[in-house]
Amino acid sequence: MTTVYDFSAKTIQGEERKLAAFRGKVLLIVNTASECGFTPHYAGLEKLNKKFAGEGFSVLGFPSNQFGAQEPGSEAEIARFCETNYGVTFPMFAKVEVNGPNAHPLFKHLTSEKTGLLGTEAIKWNFTKFLVGRDGKVAARYGSSTKPEALEDPIRRLL
């Protein structure tokens, strides 16, 4: 059975990284954007990352420009924005598409494993969150309006 550990992605620094490097951790995989009404979620994501990192948890951020062109910058600009404005220390990856024929294979997997409302696979907006168990299987999907702090209990249950 396919898990998130079967995929790799380019980091925001441009290096290919196998997600198998996160094997055994609980992950929160999020499509992000710097110019979105939900951009302040970065603060909550960083707080979750710091709170649970010592227990085997990590947030993984994947910028995407697919929703309202709200992530127009280069990888260097995105990295600088996240660090300067939100002190992001969790792994960030290069910009990806999350929907459509050019969607990153990881996001094709995530959306097929946990569909959205009414069974739709497509991601509706920035800051959709996928919670992944230590076994690499997708445990839950949360929409943009779900604040990161609301995920503490589901994360704790998987830890």
Catalytic residues: 36
Q: Are strands 57-63 and 138-142 parallel, antiparallel or unpaired?
A: unpaired
Q: Which amino acid is at 49?
A: N
Angle between helices 75-86 and 41-52 (to 10 degrees): 70
Name the DSSP class of 93.
Answer: B
CA distance 138 to 114: 7
CA distance 10 to 17: 6
Check: CB of residue 33 under 8 Å from CB of residue 65: yes
CA distance 48 to 25: 14
